[in-house]
């Protein structure tokens, strides 16, 4: 990698995960002459850039890509590095081109009830969610042929659906995957989001390129200062607009380092408490399936390499979200599958809506820096009494779901350590006014600045329980509309000068 060669850009995007890549794609599609720089502090893992690691066929090469994403320090889940913070002990990040989009489970449910964002009209939000689904290539039919999937949903529906509106009933989980004719799947990474933009000379992707700060003059963005992590060289790069999409922990860190410090910066940190359990479908169900299909375990493994994923949506009455993943679809090992029919072991993961509080935050200390020279972070986080009540309700719901499905494996449902969800939100949340409770407006423009946007799960202001990526990509689509208008106005003025 070498530092970008162009003297100036219309747009610099810091962070190449799903939302940063969404800004690149939207500007690329709708501004035919825009020059765009996409920065990432991590390495490029693949060609095309941003490929999901599950699509790497060679196991050794896939493991190498995951290790390269972890960076220094203790490893968390494959592809992530633990931050080692006492109050959020499972907090972890990925550092690579594609961000967490190279490692995620691809779950893309739409938010509902209290998860919705009241700042945005429902019809407008739904339009943005539809665009997000297209960018991520989302389908609810990726595992229609998975063994036992219909039976799993039938049993879950019988327990959870009564009294629910149609759009909040048990359903197949919408997933960012493309089914292949051989029964396997291609998982959507940010290569899918970027599309042709990743191969066009108007878009430059710089890996191992750390953004040290955003530069502003009188509150107006003029560019960024970056560091080549291979050579140590630093330089300034001029830009008409900057989007910081560096995740919910490192986005507020970069804003703090840049002197952009709204009162809510880093506050309202939202990690979804996660509860897991596992069951095995009854023997008679497994036997009936085999009698009907004639399939054997090996044949199923070849035809359906990943088993079904089902969804129990959030409701205000039940403020948690169920992700029911059969056997090898689960990213969390829940049971030994040796000698068990694929799909017969079902992992249940329930995510709870957090009682979002200002005091849950990531804090930065001037004069103390991390390994990259950025302000060192400390996380403050705790469960409130309301959180503990919701967690107990979710444990009860998981237990009932397990009983409806089959025979429990292991002990009672387990609350994973805080931070396990990897769904961190809220630290640069949007709001209706610059009143100290938000960092940006409903178009993701940072208060008190011109030309500066933030993106990612950190922009979501509500207490969600569902997987947040689809929502944050939809908000990036909305923000990109405002950014395009900003660039159009800039086009009418004097072109940007070299740094």
Question: If you search the block for the tokens 């804090």, which residue do you land on?
Answer: 363
- Run of H or E including 226: strand 220-228
Centre a 10 Å sphere on the Cβ of residue 487 and count the other Cβ atoms it contains. 19
Beta bridge partners of 452: 242
Q: Hey, what's the torsion of the CAs at 190, 192, 194, 195, to 10 degrees? A: 160
Question: If you search the block for the tokens 């499905």, which residue do you land on?
Answer: 405
Omega cis (within 30) before 48: yes
What is the rounded distance in angstroms from the CA atom of residue 122 to the CA atom of residue 105? Answer: 27
Tell me which of 185, 256, 289, 423 is the catalytic residue.
423
Beta bridge partners of 487: none
* Contact indicator for 450, 221 with CB cutoff of 8 Å: yes
Alpha carbon distances (Å) from 318 to 176, 327, 353 = 26, 26, 10
Q: Which two tokens stand for residue 71?
A: 């960076």
What is the rounded distance in angstroms from the CA atom of residue 375 to the CA atom of residue 87? Answer: 19
* Contact indicator for 169, 154 with CB cutoff of 8 Å: no
3-state helix, strand, coil split of the chain in percent (to 5) is 30, 25, 45
Is 423 a catalytic site residue?
yes
| Sign, CA torsion 441/446/449/452 | negative
Beta bridge partners of 221: 216
Annotate 278-296 with DSSP letters as a single string.
Answer: EEE--HHHHHHHHHHH---
Q: Which two tokens stand for residue 130?
A: 């539809």
Backbone angles phi, psi at 8, to 5 degrees: -160, 155
Beta bridge partners of 275: 350, 415
- Run of H or E including 160: helix 149-160
Q: Which two tokens stand for residue 493?
A: 């003025």
Alpha-helical segments (H) within 304-430 = 385-405
* Contact indicator for 86, 397 with CB cutoff of 8 Å: no
Backbone angles phi, psi at 135, to 5 degrees: -60, -35
Backbone angles phi, psi at 470, to 5 degrees: -60, -45
The residues annotated as belonging to the active site are 423
């Amino acid at each position: 990698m070498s530092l970008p060669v162009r003297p100036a850009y219309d747009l610099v995007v810091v962070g190449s995960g799903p939302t940063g890549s969404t800004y690149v794609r939207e500007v690329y599609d709708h501004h035919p002459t825009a020059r765009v720089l996409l920065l990432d502090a991590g390495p490029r893992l693949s060609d095309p850039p941003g490929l999901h690691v599950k699509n790497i066929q060679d196991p050794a090469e896939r493991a190498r890509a995951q290790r390269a994403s972890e960076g220094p320090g203790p490893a968390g889940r494959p592809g992530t590095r633990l931050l080692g913070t006492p109050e959020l002990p499972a907090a972890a990040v990925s550092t690579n081109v594609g961000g967490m989009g190279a490692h995620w489970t691809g779950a893309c449910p739409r938010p509902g009830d209290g998860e919705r964002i009241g700042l945005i009209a429902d019809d407008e939000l739904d339009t943005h969610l539809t665009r997000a689904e297209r960018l991520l290539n989302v389908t609810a039919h990726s595992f229609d042929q998975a063994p036992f999937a219909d039976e799993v949903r039938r049993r879950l529906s019988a327990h959870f659906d009564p009294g629910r509106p149609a759009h909040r009933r048990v359903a197949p989980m919408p997933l960012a995957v493309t089914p292949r004719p051989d029964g396997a799947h291609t998982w959507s990474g940010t290569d899918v989001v970027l599309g042709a933009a990743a191969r066009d000379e108007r878009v430059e992707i710089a890996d191992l390129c750390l953004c040290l700060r955003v530069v502003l003059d009188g509150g107006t963005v003029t560019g960024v200062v970056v560091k080549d992590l291979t050579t140590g060289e630093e330089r300034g790069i001029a830009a008409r607009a900057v989007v910081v999409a560096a995740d919910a922990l490192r986005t507020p860190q970069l804003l703090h380092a840049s002197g952009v410090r709204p009162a809510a910066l880093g506050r309202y940190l939202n990690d979804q408490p996660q509860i897991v359990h596992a069951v095995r479908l009854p023997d008679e169900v497994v036997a009936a399936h085999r009698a009907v299909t004639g399939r054997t375990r090996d044949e199923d493994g070849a035809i359906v390499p990943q088993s079904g994923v089902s969804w129990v949506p959030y409701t205000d009455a039940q403020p948690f979200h169920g992700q029911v993943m059969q056997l090898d679809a689960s990213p969390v090992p829940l049971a030994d599958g040796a000698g068990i029919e694929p799909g017969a072991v079902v992992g249940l993961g329930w995510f709870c809506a957090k009682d979002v509080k200002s005091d849950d935050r990531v804090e930065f200390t001037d004069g103390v820096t991390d390994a990259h020279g950025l302000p060192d972070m400390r996380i403050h986080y705790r469960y409130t009494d309301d959180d503990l009540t919701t967690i107990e309700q979710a444990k009860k719901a998981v237990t009932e779901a397990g009983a409806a499905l089959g025979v429990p494996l292991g002990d009672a449902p387990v609350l994973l350590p805080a931070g396990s969800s990897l769904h961190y939100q809220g630290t640069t949340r949007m709001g209706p006014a610059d009143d100290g409770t938000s960092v940006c407006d409903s178009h993701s423009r940072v208060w008190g600045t011109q030309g500066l946007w933030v993106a990612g799960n950190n922009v979501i202001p509500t207490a969600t329980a569902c997987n947040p990526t689809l929502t944050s990509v939809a908000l990036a689509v909305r923000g990109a509309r405002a950014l395009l208008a900003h660039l159009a106005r800039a086009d009418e003025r004097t072109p940007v000068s070299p740094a």
